[in-house]
Amino acid sequence: MTFSPALPRTTTNGAVTVESPQWWRSSVIYQLYVRSFADSDGDGIGDLDGITAHLDHLASLGVDGLWLNPCYPSPNRDGGYDVSDYLTIDSRYGGMPAFQRLLKAAHDRGLKLLLDLVPNHCSDQHEWFIQALQAKPGSPQRDRFLFADGRGPDGSEPPNNWRSTFGGPAWTQVAAQDGAPGQWYLHSFDTSQPDFNWENHEVVEMFDDVLRTWFDRGIDGFRIDVAYAMVKAAGLPDLADPDAENPHLWNQPGVHDIFSRWRAIADSYDRELTLLGEVWLSPTEVADYIREGELKQVFYFDLLQQPFDAAAFRQSIAESLAGLDRVEGSPAWALNSHDVHRAVTRYGLIAPEPIISADANALRTRARGEVDLQLGVARATAAALLMLALPGSVYLYQGEELGLPEVQDLPDEARQDPIWLRSHGTEHGRDGSRVPLPWAAGQPAFGFSSGSTWLAQPDWFANFTVEQQQADEQSVLALYRKALRVRRSIDQANTLDWLDTGRADVLAFRRGDFINVTVFGGAPFAVPADWGTEALCSQPLVDRQLPADTSGWFRRFPSPS
Ligand code: GLC
């Protein structure tokens, strides 16, 4: 795996940052769940001017860029992943003027800006789907989606036995023009999210236009939603076991042709743009998405799905790095997102409750139960230091830098995730990681909004505010800031070599002069003298003993600070 050398760069406000020509290879990007970051106008919903107003928080954190979850016009049945217009910004988030203000302010601070591209499906309120419903079976309007006749003598059975990822059937029947039951359309997710037909040239060209429009407007790349889903198995065959994972919905070879096309579009610009795929597959399989001429980055979610366990982490990292010499692109790591329970809660779960779901991701990342908060924070920060020492880029999810746990105790009537609704309450879904951020105690909505928040914040958020952590050198926020600063001194050209720790529950690796050690087990680990001086530890190092549930960075030679 090769990395480009870093180059100094002066931003328009005079600050000097270091940027590689292929900045995306090693950048740290902050994921913004726009509705929940900061609200500038008091409607209780976060917006783009709210982000602009808090850019100093992000710049001082030390990230290289921002990824905005979808903020296009949307009925918001799935947190904006049901897009009704791909070419503009929802007025609830401030519309295009607020977008332009944010883009300029971000670029002025040397921060990249990525948007979320949702190409597998749109909203049922998108004009194309409205036209499709009004048109006849077999019409060009219906061909943009995956409509099919039902089975059974009167067509009252779905065309096949696939299940939606969010629970329930993957097909919904529409009314014919005379009001009688008509055809069915496929939706891999919610009923309100009809899947596009990617064999239809109008769909292909529409997304070419979406990419070009936003690139022309100045963004630096896209995170691509369920990037492995656009092409379905030919003939949409039935599943032997409809309750098992559905291999026909994902990872079909044809999807790679779309990425070659998009890569050519990105490469036609005279600046470095990134295309990052959301692909929930094994490390070996995801590598195919960053082969030469395809996407530049892909999420390696395998690490996020592991328990806090040395062997599991090592195997995942080793498998992830093993395939990289045959690809052109770069891994993107994350331990948190808007789709999984926050790492503090996952790693601090001491008494998990049984979870019922056909979704493998849910089983691995959204278990509920009793949490030891101190343990969870210790492990989550240790895992973060380990992740930040890996080769590749890192995506942090808002609130992670505050050590926020999952909000498990949302009132049921407040839950909005379609997973909660479609599973009839058997799965709680993802709202608990999407609760508006606490900025300051003693202010309405903890400084998030002057109005009432779209999702209620629990009282205990008072213990996790930005204001409080800013004043505390021992806070999680202070640790993340230091970590991002120290990370810049890791030469990204260095590969990763495992070191022998003599213990199965302690992992260590070297990248050049830089060593990362993580203690997963209960006993402290004596860091060998020749592993260098301490650069940063997630908990205090005492007499060169690294405590349990701690990760430390060491440098063989003190840095010339
Ligand atoms: C992706 C998004 C998730 C969304 C789904 C359907 O997995 O990250 O939030 O619900 O796609 O668009």
Tokens coding 333: 């790591």
Q: Which two tokens mark 507?
A: 């992992």
Of 262, 394, 280, residue with least CA distance to 330: 394
Give me the architecture of the 9-123+197-482 domain, per CATH.
Alpha-Beta Barrel (3.20)
Instruction: Identify the residue whose C-alpha is closest to ligand 1 atom 7.
Output: 226
Q: Please write the tens of the pLDDT for every residue from 96-143.
A: 999 999 999 999 999 999 999 999 999 999 999 999 999 999 999 999
| Ligand 1 atom closest to the CA of 120, numbered from 1 | 12
Amino acid (1-letter code) at residue 414: A
Tokens of 249: 């919905």
User: What 8-state DSSP symbol labels residue 352?
Assistant: E
Non-local (6+) Cβ contacts of 93 within 8 A are 34, 45, 46, 47, 48, 71, 99
The span from the CA of 531 to the CA of 539, in Å, is 18
Overall average pLDDT of the 265-270 stretch: 98
User: Which atom of ligand 1 sits closest to the CA of residue 188?
Assistant: 6
Q: Ligand 1 centre and the CA of 468: distance in Å?
A: 32
User: d(Cα 73, Cα 92) in Å, to the nearest integer?
Assistant: 8
Please state, for a pLDDT cut of 90, what percent of the chain lies above it: 89
Q: Whose CA is nearest to atom 3 of ligand 1?
A: 339
CA-nearest residue for atom 2, ligand 1, is 225
Among the atoms of ligand 1, which is closest to the Cα of residue 78? 10
Three-class SS string for 237-289? CCCCCCCCCCCCCCCCCCHHHHHHHHHHHHHCCCCCCEEEECCCCCHHHHHHH
Residue 226 in contact with ligand 1 by CB distance below 6 A: yes
**Is-contact 386 507, C-beta < 8 A?**
yes
Would you state the structure tokens that stand for residue 64, as one six-digit string? 């290289």
Give the strands of the sheet with 506-511, arranged side by side.
497-498, 506-511, 514-519, 550-555, 533-537
Q: What is the pLDDT of residue 4?
A: 42
* pLDDT one-digit tens code per residue, 209-240: 999 999 999 999 999 999 999 999 999 999 99
For 525, phi then psi, to 5°, come to -120, 130
Indicate the burial class of 481 (C-beta count within 10 angstroms; 0-12, 13-18, 19 or more). Answer: middle
Please provide the average confidence, as pLDDT, over all residues in the chain.
Answer: 94
134 CA → ligand 1 middle, Å: 27
Hey, which of 117, 225, 340, 420 would you mutate to test ligand 1's pocket, going by the most ligand atoms within 8 Å of its Cβ? Answer: 225
- Given CATH 3.30.450, say whether it is the number of domain 496-555: no
Mean pLDDT of 431-445: 97
Give the neighbor-by-neighbor strand order of the sheet with 181-186: 147-148, 181-186, 171-175
Q: Where in the chain is the domain with CATH 3.20.20.80?
A: 9-123+197-482
- pTM score of the predicted model: 0.96
Residues of the chain with CATH 2.60.40: 496-555
Helix runs in 324-372, H state only: 343-348, 360-365
pLDDT at 334: 98
pLDDT of residue 373 exceeding 80, the answer is yes
Mean pLDDT of the 483-495 span? 92
Over residues 302-361, the pLDDT tens digits come to 999 999 999 999 999 999 999 899 999 999 999 999 999 999 999 999 999 988 887 888
Does 81 contact ligand 1 (Cβ within 6 A)?
A: yes
6: DSSP letter: P
State whether the beta carbon of 339 lies less than 6 angstroms from ligand 1: yes
- Would you name the residues annotated as active-site residues? 225, 278
| Closest atom, ligand 1, to C-alpha of 121 | 12
